[in-house]
Amino acid sequence: MDLKTLTFLVVGATFALYIWIAIKSRASSTSEFYVAGKGVHPVLNGMATGADWMSAASFISMAGLIAFKGYDASVYLMGWTGGYVLLAMLLAPYLRKYGKFTVPEFIGDRFYSNTARMVAILCLITASITYVIGQMKGIGVAFSRFLEVDFATGLVAGMVIVFIYAVFGGMKGITYTQIAQYCVLIFAYTVPAVFISLHLTGNPIPQIGLGSTMSDGNGVYLLDKLDLICNDLGFAKYTTQKGSTLDMFLMTMSLMIGTAGLPHVITRFFTVPKVRDARSSAGWALVFIAILYTTAPAVGAMARLNLMKTIQTGEVGAPNSNLAYTEAPSWFKNWENTGLLKFEDKNNDGRIQYYGPGLDDKAASMGWQGNEMVKVDRDIMVLANPEIAGLPNWVIALVAAGGIAAALSTAAGLLLAIAAAISHDLLKGIFMPDIDEKQELLASRIAMGGAIIVAGLLGLHPPGFAAQVVALAFGLAASSIFPALMLGIFAKHVNNKGAICGMLTGLGSTLIYIFWFKGWLFIPGTNMAPDNAANWWLGISPGSFGAVGALLNFAVALTVSKFTANPPEHIQHLVEDIRVPKGVAAASDH
């Protein structure tokens, strides 16, 4: 059976499974639609959180970034896992105790102000839409390869499927489908990693394989070999640091607090029955996430090694040691068709030269006239990885299904958070308190559709690779939502004015900093300064600025609160009440 048919079969089968589950557990009330009736077991909730969390960025994009950035990509690994520690200790149990549906609802009540609730909605929508753009980029890449069409067509196909899928179920359907999607995506991610690790190092566990010696008998460690080849080809060494320490520090911090501030993740902890379940559920979520996140470094390193060895078949500079274009494997041609991989025979020798800036001087003397791999979109690495390693077709089909599962589950979770903010908080909560449940559900489904269209259009010209776009979303969540929530729980004296000023400062400063370098509303060509380290303030990249924005948010909120009236008595009691688990709202209270 050829690859295309097989991929259709595998992807089709997984889709049938998701749809079957979605229909079996369809939401009938708003409580089921938003928080699955609050009856989800913590381990299952952890698994669903894992799928919700691990998006196209984690599945498709992250290992590609690791492959090309090496050590510097550690910011994604630490940032996207360390946030769960903050979530488990600083937010999840208290928000569960409070027991409402959405993040803006908590902020509106705690800061006794509809303005605060509106600002929270604004923050939530800005961060979530940016995040969905990243997903759309990933979905576009997966579909363009899988349907063998160009990127734009793949993106539209993806939008249609997300639309049908997300509008269907609501949280109850999404939770149970996400559990299935977790299983699909983790299987799809680890199987090729095990094969490749076994092939390269003889050790089937990728986490150990990455630290082992190559199985070619020379006794050289894989990572040392990779450093050596990178160096020979004029690339920066894999395991050494390339960017600035300050930027790495702030980026990791932004991703961590952004993780804890992302509404679609926080909402997941509203779905468990008890406060203590919220604590352990964060742990279980991280267990399921860690399985992928500790595998990713191996996938990245091994993909990079295989890619370089495929193109540079022998010693650098030796005759015939570069791959002839006519002999390029089928994956090479397939990815060229999507436009995400481009080769240009600059010196017309019919062979492919792939090298970095460190080799420029020597390259000229060998008759090489520039790096001929003019475009290697990093987002293709995970999907191409099994083909590069020569794994059987069913593994490749499985990876396509896994990537789509990852993108779908996260897009659905995010769209749900956006829909809830618009229908539950904005309409029901503020502007049209009289609408009934049915109208509220209809409004949230319309909001989902609108969000998909906006994100899809912006996804056509994404401001970076999927994981980088997603990093911007985290910066926005970090600078606006996390500080407001944390102060709401831990600082009793922070009042409405402080919280509102803080959120606006955090969101505003971060958004302006990002748009300054990425273009207003991410529209290409409208940026005020070129997006590179020389122009950044103190060398802080736009993706790292969220940590600075969060700091400003904290400072402004605390200062303003100090000089204005204390929150009223009943709010202080509310804060005291959410700090203890006893008296939690019952599982089916809504």
Residue of the chain from 1, 217, 218, 245 that contacts another protein (CB under 8 A): 245
- Residues 6+ positions from 366 with CB-CB distance below 8 Å: 317
| CA 257 – CA 417 distance, rounded (Å) | 18
Q: Does 248 bind another protein (CB under 8 A)?
A: yes
Q: Does 44 bind another protein (CB under 8 A)?
A: no
Residue of the chain from 216, 224, 327, 344 that contacts another protein (CB under 8 A): 224
Contact of 76 with 65, CB cutoff 8 Å: yes
C-alpha 566: how far from chain center = 39
Residue of the chain from 13, 89, 324, 523 that contacts another protein (CB under 8 A): 89
Rg of the chain taking only CA atoms, in angstroms: 24
Residue closer to another protein, measured from CB, 461 or 579: 579
Contact of 18 with 165, CB cutoff 8 Å: yes
Write down the H helix ranges in 275-392.
Answer: 275-311, 330-338, 360-365, 381-388
Report in angstroms how near the CB of residue 125 gets to another protein at its nearest: 29
Compute the half-sphere exposure of residue 80: CA atoms within 13 Å on the CB side of its CA. 30
Residue of the chain from 51, 427, 443, 584 that contacts another protein (CB under 8 A): 584
| CA 575 – CA 580 distance, rounded (Å) | 9
The packing angle between helices 381-388 and 114-146, to 10°, is 30
Compute the half-sphere exposure of residue 16: CA atoms within 13 Å on the CB side of its CA. 6
Other Cβ atoms within 10 Å of 92 Cβ, number: 26
Report in angstroms how near the CB of residue 232 gets to another protein at its nearest: 19
Q: Does 47 bind another protein (CB under 8 A)?
A: no
Residue of the chain from 210, 466, 477, 478 that contacts another protein (CB under 8 A): 210
Q: Does 78 bind another protein (CB under 8 A)?
A: yes
Pairing of strands 375-376, 341-342: antiparallel
Other Cβ atoms within 10 Å of 104 Cβ, number: 30
Q: Does 112 bind another protein (CB under 8 A)?
A: no
Q: Does 580 bind another protein (CB under 8 A)?
A: yes
Q: Does 454 bind another protein (CB under 8 A)?
A: no
Closest CA to 41 of 262, 292, 285: 285
Q: Does 213 bind another protein (CB under 8 A)?
A: yes
Residue of the chain from 47, 48, 116, 223 that contacts another protein (CB under 8 A): 223
Tell me the per-residue interface mask from 190 to 209 with another protein, x by CB under 8 A, - otherwise: -----------------xx-
Write down the H helix ranges in 358-436.
Answer: 360-365, 381-388, 393-420
Residue of the chain from 15, 71, 112, 187 that contacts another protein (CB under 8 A): 71
Residue closer to another protein, measured from CB, 211 or 392: 211
Q: Does 90 bind another protein (CB under 8 A)?
A: yes
Residue of the chain from 153, 212, 231, 347 that contacts another protein (CB under 8 A): 212
Residue of the chain from 95, 132, 286, 302 that contacts another protein (CB under 8 A): 286
Residue of the chain from 54, 275, 418, 514 that contacts another protein (CB under 8 A): 275
Compute the half-sphere exposure of residue 307: CA atoms within 13 Å on the CB side of its CA. 26
- Interface segment toward another protein; rule CB under 8 A; list 53-61, 179-187, 457-465, 579-587: 579-587
Residue closer to another protein, measured from CB, 182 or 516: 182
Query: Torsion over CA of 319, 321, 322 and 327, rounded to 10 degrees?
Result: 110
Q: Which residues bind another protein (CB under 8 A)?
A: 66, 71, 74, 77-78, 81-82, 84-86, 88-90, 93, 207-208, 210-213, 221-224, 239, 241, 245, 248-249, 252-253, 274-276, 279-280, 282-283, 286-287, 290, 293-294, 297, 576, 579-584
